[in-house]
Amino acid sequence: MERMTYNALENKVRRYAPNCDFARLHKAYEFAKTAHSGQSRESGEPYVTHPLEVASIVADMELDCDALIGALLHDVVEDTEVTVSDIEKEFGSNVALIVDGLTKLSKLHFASKEEQQVENLRKMFLAMAKDVRVIIIKLADRLHNMRTLKAKSEEKQREKARETLEVYAALAHRLGMSKIKWELEDISLRYLDPIAYKEIAESINQKRREREQYIADITAALEVGLENRGIKATVTGRAKHFYSIYRKMYTQNKSIDELYDLFAVRAIVDTVKDCYAVLGMVHELYYPMPGRFKDYIAMPKPNMYQSLHTTVIGPNGTPFEIQIRTWEMHRVAEYGIAAHWKYKEGTTDASDMDSKLAWIRQILEIQNAAVDSDDFMRALKIDMFADEVFVFTPKGDVLNLPAGSTPIDFAFAIHSAVGCRMMGAKVNGKIATLDYVLQNGDIVEIMTSSAVHGPSRDWLKICKTSQARSKINQWLKKERREENVMRGKELTERELKRIGVSHADLFRPEWVETLCKRYGFANLDDLYAAVGYGGLAVNKAISYLREKYRSEMHTEVTKSDGTPAPKPGNAPHKTVQKKQRKAYNNNGVVVRGIENCLVRLSRCCNPVPGDDIVGYITRGRGVSVHRLDCPNIKSTGEEAQRLIEVYWENAPASQSYLTELQIASNDRTGLLSDVTACISDIKIPITNINLRITKEQIALINVTIEIKSTDDLIKVSKKIRQIPGVFEVKRSNL
């Protein structure tokens, strides 16, 4: 690829913004060039090539001069001695705001890399709420970094690719910037699953000539029909993007040869009226597939996407999708929020833009309610980046919620007062249970009481969105403090009993004080209350104290005569060591040859007694126990020497293990209640359940259960397979 130069950038900008202040733009380039002087990228190129490429991507979206200058300067504060004040002095407050929003908090100390990532995201979202150009430039920055990722180490490649897929590609989707989203996804796939990427590329390439001829035949037929009707249109064909194909293969468990919609045809016209005229013509030429028509013009997606989608049977019996849109819709589909940006020409209504970015305020609410970085990222992925379901109020207003949402989520999405007064719900005119999973097109009516009884704690297990969970927790926290404190103490004691550690060993005043500060609580009762109303998971608090305990137990303290001193808690040295062994090997797993080490069951595969297992010696976290067929163990590569023999032995009778099943069934009314009843009948506790419906009307139910061993797993799987419509039951942890 030819390296971008300043002259090439300026020529690109002149084509769409001839009135840009090019003297100021050139000044910004020279400023960046001087600031980054002597710095090189890992590829060996001068560092200034990176901001030039980022500015070029921003210019492709036709943003204004301040945005281009912000792109050229986006790294100077982070990587050089230049300050935000220097930027403001030279280029003004708007550019300074953009650059500050793009500057990572790398000079501050954080407890972990994950915490630093979350704090950087928090800062970016705050800046984004003030100026949407921040996120547009950030996505351009990430795109160029991904294009040049081959210069990084393999570990760094995978880390950046995973972060890109989970956060930045999802953000691009939320902002409607599909062109950037697709490229970010495809590049991420190349590094996360290179074998699958290569297989897809080779399969598509092998049939390229056949596919191109097929698309050419369809395009020619459509062009003749359009000409006969006097409709001016541009018709093109394209293959689906690699990541889109990959997801279909993964979710549908099919090979690429079994997927029929690997390509799509697009017709772009001048008016909305022409869109529907083309749709009618397409359905005259080809037989439409039932249930495969979507009108995103009448009902745009939350990210502003508009188009007509229909899947029809092609000339040789092969289905294909056609998308029909106007040129303006096409621009929005490609560039999303950048196409609507209110600063660009000053013609877009500010309130209209604010409504399009209302979800950013939801992110800010999430971050304020989050207990820690894990909580924030989990909420972000559920609320912002999950698949969506569109439902209606009785007045016809549309609400979009994460897939799997319930009437409780709907009520709190309308207003917290509605949620707190909720006593029931109707869906499509019929009474529905509160755990009913909302489907596209449902009309939901919330029934409220004049008296505020408030939400039940059980609702926390039913609701999907962080907004609902946050509002419920706030109500419980405010209205039921004493009850929450008692419940928190009870849950804490239960967890301590489960892991075999006494309260006195862990809850020492100095450790508790540090723990409360860590999570922002004034005292221990506040912490217990948070555990009680669900604001803090009890295992999080105890894990922190266990690490303190473990660290203390490994610190040798001597008395003046040189003999080992008793450890805190007035216990002799040997007694403490024995207690520690009980604490860290109580899950039924023994490490061969090692008596005293931390042993934990890995969450990636959730092993249970009866599974073939292997241990992996982690860095600073003891031995992690995996199932022998866990892909994370298969991919340890050069670190295979860290594997160690482990085995099940004498698990406590009270010990239970979480595992997750995925149930695939033909969708039907009452399926979810049949599954829960079936599991309850054999006395297996359910801790979580989620249902989603695929486009093919296949119900996928993920249910987390507590079992004692693989015998329970076999028993419950066999029972579920007898439910009418169910055709697959498997563990979904791998």
Catalytic-role residue among 79, 223, 445, 479: 79
Q: Concatenate the DSSP letters of all residues of 158-200 into one string.
A: HHHHHHIIIIIHHHHHHTT-HHHHHHHHHHHHHHH-HHHHHHH
Helix (H), strand (E) at residue 261: none
Look up 388 and say whether it is catalytic. Answer: no
What's the rounded Cα separation, in Å, for the pair 555 and 565? 11
User: How far out from the chain centre does Cα 295 lie?
Assistant: 27
Question: Cα-atom radius of gyration of the chain, to the nearest Å?
Answer: 29
What's the rounded Cα separation, in Å, for the pair 258 and 245? 11
Bridge partners, residue 321, by sequence? 264, 311
Q: Provide the residue type at 545 as one letter.
A: L
* Phi and psi, residue 262, nearest 5°: -85, -5
Q: How many CB atoms lie within 10 A of CB 265?
A: 20
Residue whose pair of structure tokens reads 């509002």 in the numeric block: 471
Look up 78 and say whether it is catalytic. Answer: yes
What's the rounded Cα separation, in Å, for the pair 17 and 7? 15
What's the rounded Cα separation, in Å, for the pair 373 and 118? 6
Please say whether the beta carbons of 80 and 36 come within 8 A. yes
661 Cβ neighbours under 8 A, 6+ residues apart: 702, 703, 705, 716, 717, 720, 729, 730, 731, 732
Residue whose pair of structure tokens reads 């600031």 in the numeric block: 35
Catalytic-role residue among 78, 88, 295, 706: 78
Residue whose pair of structure tokens reads 């604001």 in the numeric block: 535
* Phi and psi, residue 118, nearest 5°: -65, -45
Burial of residue 560 (CB within 10 Å: 0-12, 13-18, 19+) is exposed
82 Cβ neighbours under 8 A, 6+ residues apart: 35, 76
What's the rounded Cα separation, in Å, for the pair 447 and 433? 12
> Using CA of residue 263, residue 269, residue 273, residue 278, what is the dihedral sign?
negative
Please give the structure tokens belonging to residue 21.
């202040």
Active-site positions?
78-79
